[in-house]
Amino acid sequence: MLIRDLKDCAEFIAGDGSILREILRPDKADLTIRYSLAHAIVRPGQTTKPHGLKTSEVYYIVAGEGVMHIDGDTGAVRPGFTVYIPPGTTQFIHNSGKTDLVFLCIVDPAWRKEDEEILQQS
């Protein structure tokens, strides 16, 4: 049995600028899962860097409010919303609220550095 407490997961700044904690990743534990699960925070008024993954990703919004951007489409998000991000798309999220935007990220197959590209902002 594996039970993890979020506070025991190391916090770091991800390539897109969000504050991230990896909860589950098959190459970091003896897990027979295909996906990775992370907890992300974007501070009020901040926007993650545009980036793309070769794999699919899902965001589940836990707290706060924001605007999701995927290949030029935008949509407002708030707690309880789920966002599917297709592979090969350009994505970023903006925290439009006054509190932290908190969300879970599921990447399938599991996130790998070589599958992510941080794009230059123009």
Whole-structure pTM value: 0.94
Banded pLDDT at 27 (limits 50, 70, 90) = confident
Helix (H, G, I), strand (E, B) or coil at 96: coil
- Taking only the tens place, the pLDDT of each residue in 74-110 is 999 999 999 999 999 999 999 999 999 999 999 999 9
Banded pLDDT at 1 (limits 50, 70, 90) = confident
Domain ranges of the chain: 13-118
The contacts of residue 30 (CB under 8 Å, 6+ apart) are none
pLDDT at 82: 98
Sort 52 into a burial class: Cβ within 10 Å, 0-12 / 13-18 / 19+: buried
Nearest residue to 1 via CA among 25, 29, 36: 29
Is the CATH code 2.60.120.10 the one for domain 13-118? yes
Nearest residue to 96 via CA among 47, 53, 63, 56: 47
Task: Reply yes or no on whether the pLDDT at 120 is more than 80.
Answer: no
